[in-house]
Amino acid sequence: MVSIKNLGIGGASMFIIGIVTWCGFPSLIRSQIKKAVALKPRSEMRDLWSNFPQPLDFKVYLFNVTNADEIIQGQKPKVQEVGPFFYDEYKLKVDLVDREDEDSVEYSMKNTWHFNRKKSNGLTGDEDIVFPHLLILSIAMRALQENPAAMPVLGKAIDSIFHKPESIFVKTQAKNIIFNGLPVDCTVTDFAGKAVCNVLKTKAKDLMPDGEDLFKFSLLGAKNGTVLPERLKVLRGIKNYKDVGRVVEFDGKAALDIWPEDHCNAFNGTDSTIFPPLFGPDDDIVSFGYEICRSISAHYSHHSKVKGVNTLHYTANFGDMSTNPMEKCFCPTPDTCLTKNLYDLTKCLGAPIIGSSPHFYGCEENWLELVDGLHPNQEDHEMDMDFEPMTATPIRGRKLLQFNMFIKPIPKFKFMKNFPEALLPLFWVEEGILLDDEFVNKVKVVFKVTAVVTFLKWVMVVGGIGMCIASAGLYFKNRENNDRIDITKVTPKDNNTEKSWESKINISTIQAASVPANLDKD
């Protein structure tokens, strides 16, 4: 009976421990994840968030114009994609300042790009590209919008600053377009040239000094290795894990002031480098992109699996300001809304740039009809990402943005007198990441521990139930055996049995106790 009792106690204990583990372990894991994701000073997550050691993949694709002379005469543009020019991008958050009272941290962003020749598929940056001079084209299209009467004067300024170019298109090496820069001479003394240069020196953000009143203009050169002057403030998530990374201030302001509606100016979502954990397919992934002056929402598409980790696949686009009432505040004017997946960046960048998905993927077909050489497809041109939802880890993700500019005939501007009307694609960039095995294995540790605990809880619950059943079975079997022996002694089965017992008693007990005859005689 002692062994049966111990078996029962052991089984019950295992069962209780299994149930407690079953109910308590998920809460424990959730609690630990909530603590681990917070941007607490000197924590591992804070270090990874502020200075992630793995570079992002940054790819640049340029559209080489193959019929520049025909465009000048009014023909449809023909372009040829050249790329990717592959760069390792390091994003560093510097000058961090914590504010305990509001559970926030403020920082500046520093981006640095290093050319990766090995991953550029044979491209070196020395390739000759025919490309519209973006500074000239931008000045012209902006002047057309704001002050069309100044176009003749602008033509004189262009001649002066850029040394009488023959065309708005230039032939130069790809590296000059992306980083090294094209020359801008502001040593000029004529009225038109000085006027334009004064505007450029005060408003153009992409000019790199190259001497006294000499500059160079490129796509990324001025940003490389420099600290962004506008600072970001985000919540740390120590008080509430759902707030981790949420943007609350940019450039000292609690909201933007460039759009006509408050909801378009609001900072919705995180800074795109960290997200709150423990989400599911019903939750959108929202982030604020200071580079594009708006928030973007990514929506759940389907379940996926990346590097052995079960993930949720999300996709994103620029919406449709022409049909969505909540996005009409992004329209250039109330009467001029762009169609789906196009986004006017003029107010954000100070240049008449139209953002889109690469090759106008997801846009209306009419934009494709105005340019030859574009081939949109989902695999290469859709903005998507794969998140592990428990830890909110982006195992794989990429942000895509194509820069375009409207062109049209400008009779009073000699470089564009006979231009066709089109949305001319200029270049597109892809910023993405696929976590290496070291970081993926860290994510997998959570699931390995969960799998082990799941196995153990089943063992304890099932084993405990089995031990309890075995204990009960042994107990009742032993009791049944005891009851059967008592019945045999007290209640004989039949008369024959009774006689048999009596006979046995007389022979083996009473007769054996009889006094011998010889003793009686004495």
In angstroms, what CA-CA distances link 201 with 194, 206, 263? 10, 10, 33
Q: Which residues of 361-378 are buried (b: 16+ CB within 10 A; e: fewer)?
A: bbbeeebbebbebbebee
How far apart (Å, rounded) are the C-alpha atoms in residues 327 and 340? Answer: 11
Q: What integer pLDDT is reported at residue 516 of this predicted model?
A: 43
In order, the DSSP letters of 312-367 are EEEEE----TTT-GGGGGGSSBTTB---TTEEE-HHHHSS--EEESGGGTTS-HHH
Q: What integer pLDDT is reported at residue 508 of this predicted model?
A: 40
Using the 8-state DSSP alphabet, how is residue 381 labeled? Answer: H
Structure tokens at 124: 């070196």
Closest to 177 measured CA to CA, from 358, 368, 401, 429: 429
pLDDT digit string (tens) for the chain, length 522 residues: 447 666 656 666 666 665 666 565 566 677 888 898 999 999 999 999 999 999 999 999 999 999 999 999 999 999 999 999 999 999 999 999 999 999 999 999 999 999 999 999 999 999 999 999 999 999 999 888 888 888 888 999 999 999 999 999 999 999 999 999 999 999 999 999 999 999 898 888 889 999 999 999 999 999 999 999 999 999 999 999 999 999 999 999 999 999 999 999 999 999 999 999 999 999 999 999 999 999 999 999 999 999 999 999 999 999 999 999 999 999 988 888 999 999 999 999 989 999 999 999 999 999 999 999 999 999 999 999 999 999 999 999 999 999 999 999 999 898 999 999 999 999 999 999 999 988 898 887 776 666 665 656 566 666 656 666 666 666 666 666 666 555 455 555 555 444 444 444 443 443 433 444 443 444
How far apart (Å, rounded) are the C-alpha atoms in residues 249 and 256? Answer: 9
How far apart (Å, rounded) are the C-alpha atoms in residues 122 and 107? Answer: 38
Structure tokens at 132: 């519209």
How far apart (Å, rounded) are the C-alpha atoms in residues 271 and 290? Answer: 8
How far apart (Å, rounded) are the C-alpha atoms in residues 35 and 241? Answer: 8
Whether 112 contacts 89, CB under 8 Å: yes
How far apart (Å, rounded) are the C-alpha atoms in residues 104 and 98? Answer: 6
Q: What contacts 193, CB < 8 A, 6 or more positions away?
A: 156, 157, 160, 161, 186
Residue 79, Cβ neighbours under 10 Å: how many? 21
How far apart (Å, rounded) are the C-alpha atoms in residues 472 and 430? Answer: 67
Q: What integer pLDDT is reported at residue 467 of this predicted model?
A: 66
Q: What integer pLDDT is reported at residue 456 of this predicted model?
A: 60
How far apart (Å, rounded) are the C-alpha atoms in residues 423 and 402? Answer: 12
How far apart (Å, rounded) are the C-alpha atoms in residues 252 and 248? Answer: 10
Whether 412 contacts 151, CB under 8 Å: yes
Roughly how many angstroms between the first and final C-alpha of the chain, as a whole number?
56
Structure tokens at 65: 């114009």
Sign of CA dihedral 115, 119, 122, 127: negative
CA angle 19, 25, 31 (to 5 degrees): 150
